[in-house]
Structure 1
Amino acid sequence: MKKLFKVNNILLVAGGLLTLLSACNTSAPCHEKIREVPFTNIHFNDIFWAPRIEINRTVSIPSAFNQCEINGRFDNFAIAGGLTEGEHRGDFSFDDTDPYKVIEGASYSLAARYDPGLDQYLDSVIQIIASAQEADGYLTTCVTNKVERLSGWWGSSRWEKINSHELYNSGHMYESAVAHYLATGKRTFLDVAIKNADLISEVFGPGEGQKHVPSGHSIVEMALAKLYKVTGEKKYLDLARYFIDETGRGTDGHKLNAYSQDHMPILQQEEIVGHAVRAGYLYSGVADVASLTNDQEYFKALCRIWDNMAGKKLYITGGIGSRSQGEGFGPGYELHNHNAYCETCASIANVYWNYRMFLATGDAKYVDVLERALYNGVISGVSLVGDSFFYDNPLESMGQHSRQAWFGCACCPGNITRFMASVPGYMYAVQGKDIYVNLYVQGTAQVETSAGEIILEQVTKHPWEGNIKLIVNPAVKTEFTLKLRIPGWAQDAPVP
């Protein structure tokens, strides 16, 4: 006989022995690791997210690939690889990341719903990207193509400038390559990433003759952590740790600056400052490394910085970064509406960071902020049609602010495509026999716990209505704990 439970407005139908708990309310790292439930095990069929994810698959991803083609992003790789001749296009040293992000999103989409045409297309563009890799593993097209008009970014030789974005390019490549490998089992892109990571492991580090600098624009830290998880190569985790340790130290004598959170060592930081996207990516990487190495001191620093962000610099939309100048943070409580910046990429970075903080602690407050950013600061960045995007997201406009199909600095469209395809992965998490229910979305999930496989089904019209029916079907009769997040906004506490 199935058991019925009523918890506030949540109806639970259980096929086995069930214990109900709210999410733990502690910021101390959990002893047993909380694991993500693969997004491919979770299938939405609701009226809010499922249509958006399908539009991302059928409109946003093809549109972004088309923009990469017509704006020369793939041509730049082909020129670097000697496949064609022509002039390098684009105004930024990090334009390589645009196709990387879209490939990542397409890979997530492919894993959730196989499309042979998309699979073949990815093979073709990855082949072009691979052609641009130099013999030792180096891959940044504007440097290989010796684009002098972009020398203000990269200088006159490899690794000359911290702000060259060479490591940022690598980071997005690793994330994309890992996603493609997990989705398809193919190593074509992963091998390119590994060859590049092996190179930067030789170039950067604490040893004699290596470059002693942080990453500049962070993302390579959490990307290296992903590469470590997939390959088991500890040197990638060590390199991620090195970039984090080197931040704010100025070992090579470069000028320290808050823009890249490089003004002081992370362990001494109290306030979130600088470029908002860089901050979110950096602290996501710190959370990854702290979790993988059980480093309590870095986690304490993250908690201090997070408290400053959530208490003084977080918009009601979950957006972060109040200033267009520097795309970053102002002083505490500088949260204007009309002049708000709230870059789409920054909201995505905020989700990444908060999810990692949750995985480390099981504390529901991090999912509260994640959810607020997810439903507001992130999805405002893409139209309902799916083919136009906001770069910044002010809370007030006189009508002059409109979405665009693409940008000269096109970081946000690609970021949206990769993020939207992965949204189901934020819904549940597992810790031994415990299942965390983080988000309330109609759909089904196959969750592997130490007590066996549990099939969960949510029936709800959330967010339009508040009633939620949760059907729990264990494969065999067993005992486990279901931890239901009670949202802060349901307790008159919209922000922590």
Structure 2
Amino acid sequence: MKKRFLPFLLLAALGSHAQQTDYSITGVPFTQVKLNDHFWLPRIQTNRTVTIPASFQRCESTGRVKNFEMAAAKSGKFCTTFPFDDTDIYKTLEGASYSLSVFPDATLSKYLDTLIDKIAKAQEPDGYLYTARTIDPAHPHAWAGQERWVKEAELSHELYNAGHLYEAAVAHYQATGKKNLLSIALKNADLVCSVFGPGKRGVAPGHEIVEMGLVKLYRVTGEKKYLETAKFFIEQRGQRKDYDAKNKNPWKNGSYWQDDKSVYDQTEAEGHAVRAEYLYSGMADVAALTGDQKMIAAIDKIWDNVVGKKMYVQGSVGAIPDGERFGDNYDLPNTTAYNETCAAIAGVYWNERMFMLHGESKYIDVLEKTLYNGLISGIGLDGKSFFYTNAMQITNNFSHTAMEPVRSGWFDCSCCPTNLARFIPALPGYVYAQKGNDIYVNLFVSGDASVNVNGKPVQIRQENNYPWDGNLSFTIDPKKATQFNLLVRIPGWANNQAIPSSLYSFQNNSTQKTVIKINGNVAEYTVDKGYAVLNRTWKKGDKVEVILPMEIRKVVASNNIKNDINKVALQRGPLMYCGEWKDNDGRVSNIILPEASSFTSEYNAALLNGVTILKANVPAVDISNDGVNVSTRAQSFTAIPYYAWANRGKGEMMIWFPEKVKDVQLMASDEALTPVVNH
């Protein structure tokens, strides 16, 4: 394994000499964290055995691979729908590379080399790589324009494709030591840097990610031009003269592309949610590497805006279907919530970077909320069915309130399935982080981690049954007695904070506190930036126990969110819960959760691959057979983790439930009436 990684380590070391500054905190690489976790390891295995193979098969069957073959032959007709379809291959390659790092697979490795050879042959001599043009330059994709780059600010996605190529190339190089894909990426990046920059062509990329990709190439090679070009792209925003600032149309004023003003002047999240969060991630990377404090201040304000005014209770963002974008402050409707899966993934990328900039647990709190709820809800338990959007509410009563509650194996625009394929195997890299003598425990995932403190190897074994149980165990095994700080995140939800803002809160505060024991003895500890600081000289076999209170909490929203007034949602640990038709007499839109309702929890190993469910006796509204009388009756109510819904067929789902009925709206419908809170 060490021999395989030697080329990367040498280049990374060379690159580090060129870096004057960087994140003060770095994640412990996923290759140094070996999982045996009951929750995450099966998902990673399913990704390896089901998701990645299915993704490659679908790239073959839909013509995505054929596009590269035709580009190499300079003959044919682009045979898929979107000019960014190339990225589905790049993203799956990235995920497969991560998987190879942990699970060597000669057959998969050979298949990747075959694909990479096709990509190489499709690349033009100067490095340009974009099958939607190269197949037939005289008749490029309608979104691309007759010349290279002329529609990059809006529709062409030429640089978006490049960004995903760079990220895949770095992952593949790190995993295998092979330079075949990296060489393709560097050739393309050299072209991009020769075309764009001060005194050359300027553009604010219409769909960001090239900025993040260029930074990764810089980290591998130490070539400053890659970092400089990433910064140049970010600073090009707000310079176009043809946008109308007074026009409320986000495409006409530039806000859809985050291009209506300089990034230094942006204070709230706007436009397409995935593009925006990729931009903010790229800004964090560039700011960390250049020491640009003004850029950091800008993304700090935007983060406050998202978490304080534009995030759903299960960690999703991007409320507005029209443009897959952020809405106005507090514009968080449940019936039409969009919540693209890619936006959840982008949110994890961004929040990890914010943590590495500032070292505050609130960023990991948001990351965890998104990860366990709005992100993995995007993939079915089978590993091959997906949600592009993640609904907040499905009812049978009124057609205008219902988004389709059925997962799909693939989409014409399949960015979300392939994004999941690349994200899931990288999950172990989010568990721990390090800053000198400080070792951060960010996520509670069972497994063994290898770190070095002052050149001394330390093994950390984490054992738990999270997220179902709050009892966490850590065994510290330094090769020699070693002094360092173990910083264990105390989740906000364990400290009466539903989210690090006033957007959501728990209805009643808990008196239970997090208990920490060291070698069986209750330990006094200080909390710094949300982390319990355990400072000692650690000896082999030292054991830390952390006991988190796993109470069932009722969540209420700020009154600024009009759709959630007088409603409650349910949370236990990091998980948000929902009611689904399957467990509740065929429907859930008639359920009321009074303030006095009391819930119990129980683990059901046979349900949905094993979940803890919540149960209570609550009122349910009934309509008489003749449709004249409305009454309530007591009913057993079961809630399941939100991420697990829509794995048992099509039917109703609710997250927010009214506490009482103040009004019944009589509306024409083939279905029964639904009680609604009178706002």
Q: Do they superpose with TM above 0.5?
A: yes
Asked if residue 288 in structure 1 is aligned to residue 281 in structure 2, the reply is no
Partner of 1:272: 269
Specify the code of the residue in structure 1 equivalent to 2:349. Y
| Residues in 1 aligned to 2:216 and 2:287: alpha-carbon distance in whole angstroms | 14
Q: From the superposition, tell whether residues 294 and 251 of structure 1 become closer, same or farther in structure 2 (CA, over 3 Å).
A: farther
Q: State how 1:420-439 maps to structure 2 within 5 Å.
A: 420-439=424-443
Q: For 1:200-240, what per-residue CA distance to the aligned partner results, in whole angstroms no more than 9, with x for missing partners? A: 10111111xx2111111100001100000001100000000
Q: For 1:342-398, what per-residue CA distance to the aligned partner results, in whole angstroms no more than 9, with x for missing partners? A: 100000000000000001111100000000110011101111110111100011123
Partner of 1:123: 113
2:321 is matched with which residue: 314, 321, 324?
Answer: 324
Q: For 1:306-339, what per-residue CA distance to the aligned partner results, in whole angstroms no more than 9, with x for missing partners? A: 0000000011111110011000011111112221
Query: Are the aligned partners of 2:160 and 2:209 in contact in 1 as well (CA < 8 Å)?
Result: yes
Query: Are the aligned partners of 2:166 and 2:213 in contact in 1 as well (CA < 8 Å)?
Result: yes
Partner of 1:136: 126
1:189 is matched with which residue: 181, 193, 196?
Answer: 181
Partner of 1:12: none
Query: Are the aligned partners of 1:433 and 1:451 in contact in 2 as well (CA < 8 Å)?
Result: no
Partner of 1:217: 207
Q: From the superposition, tell whether residues 165 and 211 of structure 1 become closer, same or farther in structure 2 (CA, over 3 Å).
A: same
Specify the code of the residue in structure 1 equivalent to 2:430. Y
Asked if residue 168 in structure 1 is aligned to residue 165 in structure 2, the reply is no
Asked if residue 386 in structure 1 is aligned to residue 376 in structure 2, the reply is no
Partner of 1:236: 226
2:86 is matched with which residue: 96, 117, 123?
Answer: 96
Q: State how 1:2-13 maps to structure 2 within 5 Å.
A: none
Query: Are the aligned partners of 2:436 and 2:454 in contact in 1 as well (CA < 8 Å)?
Result: yes
| Residues in 1 aligned to 2:142 and 2:454: alpha-carbon distance in whole angstroms | 54
Query: Are the aligned partners of 2:23 and 2:289 in contact in 1 as well (CA < 8 Å)?
Result: no
Specify the code of the residue in structure 1 equivalent to 2:442. N
| Residues in 1 aligned to 2:188 and 2:273: alpha-carbon distance in whole angstroms | 27
Partner of 2:44: 53
| Residues in 1 aligned to 2:457 and 2:253: alpha-carbon distance in whole angstroms | 50
Partner of 1:308: 305
TM superposition shift of 1:448: 2.2
Q: Report the TM-score, using the length of structure 1 for normalisation.
A: 0.91
Partner of 2:546: none
Partner of 1:79: 70
Q: How many residues align?
A: 464
Query: Are the aligned partners of 1:406 and 1:413 in contact in 2 as well (CA < 8 Å)?
Result: yes
Specify the code of the residue in structure 2 equivalent to 1:80. A
Specify the code of the residue in structure 1 equivalent to 2:28. V
TM superposition shift of 1:87: 3.1
Partner of 1:15: none
Query: Are the aligned partners of 1:77 and 1:132 in contact in 2 as well (CA < 8 Å)?
Result: yes
Partner of 2:193: 201
| Residues in 1 aligned to 2:22 and 2:436: alpha-carbon distance in whole angstroms | 11
| Residues in 2 aligned to 1:300 and 1:88: alpha-carbon distance in whole angstroms | 43
Q: For 1:114-157, what per-residue CA distance to the aligned partner results, in whole angstroms no more than 9, with x for missing partners? A: 11111101000010011100000000000112378864310111
Q: For 1:38-91, what per-residue CA distance to the aligned partner results, in whole angstroms no more than 9, with x for missing partners? A: 1011111121101001000000000000000000111100100118x5432111
- Segments of structure 2 that go 5 or more residues without pairing to the other structure are 1-20, 245-251, 397-403, 501-679
Partner of 1:26: none
Q: Secondary structure at the match of 2:83?
A: coil
Specify the code of the residue in structure 2 equivalent to 1:437. V
| Residues in 2 aligned to 1:432 and 1:213: alpha-carbon distance in whole angstroms | 39
Query: Are the aligned partners of 1:317 and 1:372 in contact in 2 as well (CA < 8 Å)?
Result: yes
Query: Are the aligned partners of 1:365 and 1:488 in contact in 2 as well (CA < 8 Å)?
Result: yes
Bigger Rg over Cα: 2
| Residues in 2 aligned to 1:448 and 1:34: alpha-carbon distance in whole angstroms | 14
Q: From the superposition, tell whether residues 69 and 268 of structure 1 become closer, same or farther in structure 2 (CA, over 3 Å).
A: same
Q: State how 1:245-264 maps to structure 2 within 5 Å.
A: 245-250=235-240, 257-264=254-261
* Dislocated runs of 4+, deviation >4 Å: 147-150, 251-256
Asked if residue 464 in structure 1 is aligned to residue 464 in structure 2, the reply is no
Residue range with higher mean Cα deviation, 163-172 or 451-460: 451-460
TM superposition shift of 1:256: 5.2
Q: Secondary structure at the match of 2:384?
A: coil
| Residues in 1 aligned to 2:138 and 2:30: alpha-carbon distance in whole angstroms | 43
Query: Are the aligned partners of 1:212 and 1:251 in contact in 2 as well (CA < 8 Å)?
Result: no
Higher strand proportion, which one?
2
Q: Secondary structure at the match of 2:462?
A: strand
| Residues in 2 aligned to 1:291 and 1:31: alpha-carbon distance in whole angstroms | 5
| Superposed CA RMSD | 1.7
Residue range with higher mean Cα deviation, 43-52 or 443-452: 443-452
Q: Report the TM-score, using the length of structure 2 for normalisation.
A: 0.67
| Residues in 1 aligned to 2:314 and 2:455: alpha-carbon distance in whole angstroms | 38
TM superposition shift of 1:449: 2.7
TM superposition shift of 1:452: 1.9
Partner of 1:413: 417
Report which structure shows greater RCO (CA 8 Å, sep ≥6).
1
Q: From the superposition, tell whether residues 32 and 104 of structure 1 become closer, same or farther in structure 2 (CA, over 3 Å).
A: closer
Specify the code of the residue in structure 1 equivalent to 2:163. G
Q: For 1:379-420, what per-residue CA distance to the aligned partner results, in whole angstroms no more than 9, with x for missing partners? A: 011111101111000111237321111100110010000000
- Segments of structure 1 that go 5 or more residues without pairing to the other structure are 1-29
2:24 is matched with which residue: 33, 36, 56?
Answer: 33
Partner of 2:503: none
Partner of 1:473: 477
Query: Are the aligned partners of 2:67 and 2:78 in contact in 1 as well (CA < 8 Å)?
Result: yes
Specify the code of the residue in structure 2 equivalent to 1:181. Y
Q: From the superposition, tell whether residues 131 and 325 of structure 1 become closer, same or farther in structure 2 (CA, over 3 Å).
A: same
Partner of 2:599: none
